[in-house]
Structures are given as structure tokens and as C-alpha cells.
Structure 1
Amino acid sequence: MSIGEKLYSLLDSITSFGNDILWGYVLIFLLIGAGIYFTIRSKFVQFRLFKEMFRVIKEEAIEQSGSKGTSAFQAFSISIASRVGTGNLAGVALAIAVGGPGAVFWMWFIALIGAGSAFVESTLAQVYKVRDGDGFRGGPAYYMEKALGQKWMGILFSVLITLCFGLVFNAVQANTISMAFEEAFGANRALMGMILVIMTALIIFGGLKRIAKVAQVIVPVMAVVYLIVAFYVLVINITEIPALIALIVQHAFGLEQAVGGGIGAALMQGLKRGLFSNEAGMGSAPNAAATAGVSHPVKQGLVQTLAVFTDTLLICSATAFMILLYSDYTMASQDGIQLTQAALSAHIGEWAAVFVAIAIFLFAFSSVIGNYYYGETNVEFMKDSNMWLQVYRFAVLGMVMFGSMAKIQLVWDMADLFMAMMAIVNLIAILLLGKIAFAVLQDYIEQRKQGKDPVFYASRIKELKNVEWWTEQEGK
């Protein structure tokens, strides 16, 4: 066994052990418990204010003390750029291959209850945002320091999200792109890696405004085209949809033998791939939410909740239905993105492999952009140093190259491990700070009942401290 193979084996053993502990004994209860708690305490905000989400997402950025920030839709696009990626195409396929059709149900479940967690974390990010050169920045590290008074916790989270999103998740995105192009065109994965490194460098050295502009263009186009193709596949198979939904529910509760090993495998894979895809409660999307210039923090809480629904209930479901309508999915030798390509090719022809390769390039490359920004804002939290920022940027490029050539299971296992650690730290913080988000929500509701476009003032919430924005006195 070569040195490289030994290192791969050691890394695989470490990640497998860590995932067994964190996912099997900690995160499964914390993730579901927090989602249910936030859903009930917010009085089901993700459902009762669903219509309001579409109203606020159209608002332009407002200027606050000389800083304008991004618009609601740009912040939505940055977070969707990170959410909508390999998790929607490759991750869903991997979940079904390992956990069976029931994994899809648990992906839906974690999106519906996790939307409550998403609302809380993004609202808190807006409350505790700070000024930077591009407008605003913020996220879990900032509310951990300012609201909880625990800077060490903020630094720990910053380290985890920088490693998780900036490095490991970007390796996953690059891995999926290179495998898709290998399947569709026979492309050399090392060559694809070098192309991705060059393209990534051109974007990440351009700053947040360029990131927002690129995401704002790419994300809606790629999502709409992909959903049109998925809708076509569903229409031509419309008579099979009721049976398909029944299959998903039956496997979710172990009413039939699941392909991947019963209810436990379905639940675990659904939660893992669901969290990887929609990021609800993980602490990543708040970094995008904090960049927005809005009149009230709740507006970004609602926008980021809508992003969870868009990601899982629309795009992940589209992929899952196409795979489950593929009669040979249980016997396919492929997993990940190549299973999605095989399924779509069976539905609409061999050209589908090329279409999926292009789609995954757009989905995953936009995720690289969004992931990079999450790391950047946390590098700046730890140390506002241009030298460290440049080190981080080159590390991102290195992991893009590594991911392009690595084995699929290793990069996904690494992603699961870092994702679990990050989510645990953030969920503990927002559980402690949830009452602030609920008070801010109540302020928003009261103003809407009065027919106002809500404007937030920190003085309206007694529990608030160390808030940099929202400090103007009401009535001035």
C-alpha cells in the first residue's frame, strides 16, 4: 500500500468514526429537537408568513448609516448559490442509493421543521450585523460574541465554517463537477480541476459585489431550466406519481424493505443529505442574510426560510422523482451525480448526461462562490488581515483541485463530519438566543397588523445588547 493510499485509509477511518458518533448520538436529536422547538415557539412562522416571504424578497436594499449592503434578492441568491449545488443532484442520488426511497421523506421533513431554525438564525444575523468595506457582514460568530458574550465560541465556529464551507464543501462541489464531465465527455478530472481553479480565482479575488452579481444571474437561470426539464419528466410519467409518493412514505417508516437497509438508513441519509442541501440550522446562510440592507431583521429571516423551501421541496424533490422513476435505479452501479445522469438519460435520451453535466457545473460552481464567501466573512471575524485572507483564498483553490481528483465517498464523509460539528455549535447558540428572535418577530407582526412596512429599532427589545445597527431612536 502506497503512502497516498495509507493516508486515504487513515482519513477515511477518522471521518467514519466521527460521523458515527456525531450523527448517530448527537445531531439527529439536536437537529430535529431544535427544529420542532423553533417551529412551535414561532407559532409556525415558516407556514403562516409564507405569502409575506414573496413580498419582502422583492425589496431593494436600503441605506443604513451610509452603508447599503445587498438587496434582499441578492442575499437570497448568495445563500441559494451555496445551498443549490451538488446536494440537489448528487446528494439526493447518494441518499437514495444508500438509504432507499424513504430518505426523500426525511429530507422533506428536515426542510419543513428546519425552516424554523433557518428563520431564527438569519434573523439573529441581521440583528447583530456589522459594517465592512462592502456594506455589512455577520453571522453566527458575530451573535455568539455580541449576544452571548462568548468570543471563543465565535472563533470556534469561524474555524469550523471556514474549513467546512471554504475548503471541504468546495472539494465536494469540484468532485461532482469533475465526475459529471468524466461521465458526459470522458474529460480528464485533473484537467477539469485546473479549469475550475482558474475560474474560481477570477471570482473570489473580485470581492462580494462580484460574487453577488454572478450568483444573481446564475442561480435563477439554472434553477428554472433544471425544473423545466424535471417537470417534463414528471408530466410524461404523471400516472406514476401517486404510487411514487406512496413508495417514499412506505420506505420512510419501514413499511416496506428499503433498498439501503430499513428505516434507520433512510432517516440518517435523509437528514444528512437534507442538511447538506438546505443548510437549515447549520449556521451558513446567516452569513449571507447579514449582508442585506433591510428595514427589519425579520425580512431576511423570511427570505432565508423561503430559500430552504426552494432548495429541498422544489429542486431536491425534482431530482428524487426523476431517479425513482428510473426503473433500474436499484441495480445501477453508479452513485452520486452519475446516477442522476443515468436516470435522466433513460427518461429523455443520451443527451441528458451532457445536460446534467452542464447543470451541475452551474449549480456547483455557484456553490463554490457562495461557500467561499461564508469562509471569507469568518476569516475577517477571526483576524482582519489581508495576509490571512490571501492564505485562505489559495487554500480554497487547493481544495478545489483536491476535490476534482479525490474519491467520492471520502469527500462526502469529510463534508458530513465538518457539517455536523458546525451545526452543533450553531444550534446550541440559537437555542440560547431564540427568545430574541421571537421578540423581534413579534415586533414585526405588530407593525404589519398596523398596516406599516416594519422598521426595527433596538430600543423596542429590552434583551438586546451590543447591537451595532438598529440603534436610532424611534420617532427621530
Structure 2
Amino acid sequence: MQEIVNYLNGLIWSPALIYLCLGAGLFYSVLTRFVQVRHFGEMWRLLLSGTSSDKGISSFQALAVSLSGRVGTGNIAGVAAAIGFGGPGAVFWMWMVAFLGAATAYIESTLAQIYKEEDEGQYRGGPAYYFEKAMGQKWYAWIFAIATIIACGLFLPGVQSNNIGSAVETAFGAGSIINTSFFGEVSFAKLVSGVVVVLILGFIIFGGVRRIAKFTEIVVPFMALAYIIIACVIVGLNIDQLPSIIGLIVGDAFSPMAGFGAAIGWGVKRGVYSNEAGQGSGPHAAAAAEVQHPAQQGLVQSFSIYIDTLFVCSATAFMILITGAYNVHGATEGAFLVQNVASEIAANGPVFTQMAIESTLPGVGKPFIAFALFFFSFTTILAYYYIAETNVAYIKRTVNIPGMVFILKVAIMASTFYGAVKTADLAWGMGDIGVGLMAWLNIVGIVVIFFMAKPALRALRDYEDQQKKGVTEYTFDPEKLGIENADYWTKKAATEARAKAGQAEPAKARKPGVA
């Protein structure tokens, strides 16, 4: 199985996908005149001003749901793997893919808002919806939907639960080893971790998207803040080393110890895995938000890339590099370019990060990372479920097989448990396949949409025009902008126009001098 997974990853994560991710980000950054920089202040305002409705969640809740997918194992174990296999320079390329990817996130999330639908009392949307409506290619939308259900329902949850189990095992010990006929040898710690995660997961996903949104809007900001505070304490205690560490990251990005291909490859791969810019997962939560204008949610989701990579991932990288709690693997098996810790410690896991905190704050690192990983990874699994469920809902519009959502819930719970007790390399490999498939399909799709109609750019210009006029209530009329098949917004604009005309009519009838 491991050999098959490695072979597929070699095909999917070829240099073509690496440069496609960076190229798409640069392409949209230039076209939007670096929207991720120009509208930074507006992102903050929108983040704090949105409200929810009976059909949609607030901008902040949508941010929390998407962040729950972005902030997870990739921020702790993924950064460690990028350093371990790509060298310190990989961190620079994680920053680069985040900065450029923020523009890609704006595009895909705005598209999700433009082409969202109302489904059973809630908003639904995402790449499958905008591929069908903007591209007019339903077959392509179906391929994305099926690939996403497989990726988010089967492949990706195992990565998150695997790292929960590994962190618990490192923090509290493996306990007794249990031999099973299906899983082989499993530590008691991993077995218990898998059972606990699955039970809590089942309780929440059977409660629907609102329960997911309410859980994540509380947990994600709290854990991200706590994690960054711990990182700031460690960096503060070693502040004299920070300039040299930044110099090491930037210098190694262009003359890397692990080779240029390794640095950029691992940096982009783990960067995309962490912040998901261009992957097509963030748009699902973006479509569920209640906003006045589609560009507003695009800006909010663009800001989420900063939180994920430039804040949380950087915090992990600085802790690991400042404390020297890492190895850098060479090209051959068992060879190390840098070896600061024991050779048996896997780079594909949270141990580097645990050791980094433990070396500065003894007794804190191992349990804190286990605790943080539980919440980060668990909320990411919730996000994966929501994404997979949205694509099941898309398929049900055409083929409604009874029990599809129930089967998905059982499948993601089984995948979560399986991942918790299996090896890290297999779990990460399957996760990379899922991320790569979605990224290929989504980035190619949004580039095609741009050359067909440019809906996200038209929405941005419309929003900026209204900003210049100083409006307090934003409106969006897709027909005036030449955007077709945006049925929800077309209907909303028509309803608002009728309401406005109805209010003006009585005033028009009462002319001076008329009884």
C-alpha cells in the first residue's frame, strides 16, 4: 500500500503542480492588483461586522469553519515535515505560497458566493457549483465532487487523527501494545485516542452545519491564540537568535541544504496542505456565509490564509528552528544533512514541535501539543465532513440515492479511526493524494473560468466602485455586470428592486394640489 501511495504522489505532486500553485497565485495577485495587500483593512472590518441568518452563517463563522480546515495538523506536523525533508528554506516557500495564495483564495471564495444556492434552508456552494454554472461543464463539476468526497471523506481525516494519536502517545506514553487481526499492533494510547475522537465526531456531525459552525467559532480562535502565545514566549526567551533564524530561512530558500527542488517542493506541498489556497476546500464554507456582496466573503477568506500560514505556521517554524529540535533528511535512506535529535524521530509527525516547546518550557511541550493537536485536528475533520457533505448534496441534485449522507458520516468516522492507529507515512501519503487531486481540478477550473467570463474580478471592481461612492448597504446585481447563472443573486436583486419600487410608488401618487 505504501509503495502504491508513494507512486501516485509522485505523479500528482510533480513539479507541474508545484509551479501551478505558485503561478496561479502570482497570476491572480497581479490581476487583482494585489488585493491581499490593498484591502487588508477592509478584511478586518468585514470580519467583525457580519451577521448570520436563518439560511446562512456569519462571515466570522464562515472564517472559523474554513480556518478549522486550514489550521490543523499541517500547521504543527506539516511544518516539521517541510523542515525535516526540505530544510529551513522550505519555510520561505510556505510563506510565498501563502502570500500569493491569498489572491487565489479571494477568487475561489468569491466564485463560491456568486454561484451559491439555497438547499433545504441553508446556503450551499463550492467548486462543483461554480464549475457547472460558470464553465457550463457539468461533467467536470461531477469529477471534482467525487474526488472531493473521496479526499475529504476517506483520505484526509486519517492524517488528522493519526497525529492526534501520535501526540497523545508521545505525551502520555504508548501503554500496552494490543495485537489485532485487522490493524496489526496498536498501542493502547492510539486505540483510545481513535475511539474518543470518533465518538465526539459522531455527536457533532449528526447535529448539522450549525453545530459545526458554533463549535469551531469558539474553539479555533481560542486554540490558535493560545498556540501563538506559547510560540511568542519561546521566541521571546530566545529573541537574540531570531535574526539569524530568519536569515537561515531566507538564505536556505535559494541555496538550500536539501536541494532547491526539495525546499520549494516541500514548502509548496505543505503550504498548500496547511492553508488550502487553491485546493478548493475553503469555498465551501465561504458559500455558506450571509453577506451583502460576494466580494466581501472573498476578502474574509483571503485573510484566513494569513492567519494560517503567516501566523500559526510561522510560530511552529520559529519554535523548531530556534530550539534546534529538528533533523534534515538527505536524499538517501538514513542519511541526514542536519541531525540535532535522535534519528528514529519521524519528521512526519508532531514530535519536533513537542520537543521544541519541551526544551524551553519543561513539562509543557508534550501535553500542550497533544491538547492543541486534538482541537486543531478535530476541527479540521469537522471541516472535511462539511466539505464532503456539500459535494454529496451537489450530486443529490441529479442522483438522489437514499442514505448518501448517512453513508458519508459512517465512512468519515471509519476513516478517522483507521488513521488514528496506522503509520504516519501512509496517512500523510493518502492525505497528499487527496489534496493534490483537488488542487489540480480546482486551479485549472478557476483559470478556465477567468478566461471565459472573469466573474470574480467583475465582482471586485463592482465592490470597489461602491466603496468609492461611500455606500453603507452594498448590493450585487449579476445581470448588470454581465454575470450569468448567478441565480441566487439575480433573484435577490430583483426582489430588492421590487421592494424599492413598492416603497417609492405611494410618494409618487401624492402630487401637490391633488386631493
Kept in 2, the 8 Å contact 1:134–1:208? The answer is no
* Match status 1:283 vs 2:253: no
Which whole-Å CA distance do the structure 1 matches of 2:34 and 2:324 have between them? 38
Q: What is the aligned partner in structure 1 of residue 42 from structure 2?
A: 52
Choose from 60, 83, 95 the match for 1:73. 60
* Match status 1:325 vs 2:338: no
Q: What is the aligned partner in structure 1 of residue 12 from structure 2?
A: 22
Which one-letter code corresponds to 2:279 in the other structure? M
CA RMSD of aligned residues (A): 1.4
Q: What is the aligned partner in structure 2 of residue 203 from structure 1?
A: 204
Q: What is the aligned partner in structure 2 of residue 150 from structure 1?
A: 137
* Match status 1:463 vs 2:483: yes
Deviation, 1:429, is 1.2
Which one-letter code corresponds to 2:326 in the other structure? Y
Deviation, 1:37, is 0.7
**TM-score, normalised via structure 1 length:** 0.94
Q: What is the aligned partner in structure 2 of residue 346 from structure 1?
A: 359
Which whole-Å CA distance do the structure 2 matches of 1:152 and 1:13 have between them? 31
Q: Where does 1:48-197 land on structure 2 (aligned, <5 Å)?
A: 48-61=38-51, 68-187=55-174, 188-197=189-198
Cα 1:295–1:328, aligned 2, differ >3 Å: closer, same or farther? closer
Cα 1:55–1:470, aligned 2, differ >3 Å: closer, same or farther? farther
- 1:136 counterpart SS class: strand
Which whole-Å CA distance do the structure 2 matches of 1:262 and 1:324 have between them? 18
Task: Write out per-residue CA displacement over residues 411-447 of structure 1, whole angstroms, 9 at most, x where no aligned residue.
Answer: 1111111211111111111112231100110000000
Which one-letter code corresponds to 1:129 in the other structure? K
Kept in 2, the 8 Å contact 1:130–1:469? The answer is no
Kept in 2, the 8 Å contact 1:61–1:68? The answer is no
Which one-letter code corresponds to 1:327 in the other structure? G
Kept in 2, the 8 Å contact 1:134–1:209? The answer is no
Choose from 357, 368, 372 the match for 2:370. 357
Which ranges in structure 2 are unaligned for 5 or more consecutive residues? 175-188, 328-338, 501-515
Deviation, 1:47, is 0.6
Choose from 287, 301, 305 the match for 1:304. 301
Identical residues among aligned pairs (%): 42
Cα 1:464–1:62, aligned 2, differ >3 Å: closer, same or farther? farther
Task: Write out per-residue CA displacement over residues 109-156 of structure 1, whole angstroms, 9 at most, x where no aligned residue.
Answer: 000011111000000000000012352010000001111111111111
Choose from 433, 436, 461 the match for 1:442. 461
Task: Write out per-residue CA displacement over residues 167-224 of structure 1, whole angstroms, 9 at most, x where no aligned residue.
Answer: 2111000000000000001152112111111111001100001000000110111011
**TM-score, normalised via structure 2 length:** 0.87
Kept in 1, the 8 Å contact 2:292–2:476? The answer is yes
Q: What is the aligned partner in structure 2 of residue 395 from structure 1?
A: 411
Deviation, 1:20, is 1.7
Which whole-Å CA distance do the structure 1 matches of 2:120 and 2:357 have between them? 44
Q: What is the aligned partner in structure 1 of residue 21 from structure 2?
A: 31
Which whole-Å CA distance do the structure 2 matches of 1:128 and 1:362 have between them? 32
* Match status 1:379 vs 2:392: yes
Which whole-Å CA distance do the structure 1 matches of 2:95 and 2:50 have between them? 31
Which ranges in structure 1 are unaligned for 5 or more consecutive residues? 1-10
Kept in 2, the 8 Å contact 1:329–1:339? The answer is yes
Task: Write out per-residue CA displacement over residues 254-292 of structure 1, whole angstroms, 9 at most, x where no aligned residue.
Answer: 1xx52xx22211111100100000000110000000000
Query: Where in structure 1 do 4 or more consecutive aligned residues deviate above 6 Å?
Result: none
How many residues are treated as equivalent by the alignment? 459
Which whole-Å CA distance do the structure 2 matches of 1:73 and 1:369 have between them? 17
- 1:221 counterpart SS class: helix
Kept in 2, the 8 Å contact 1:62–1:295? The answer is no
Which whole-Å CA distance do the structure 2 matches of 1:351 and 1:212 have between them? 30
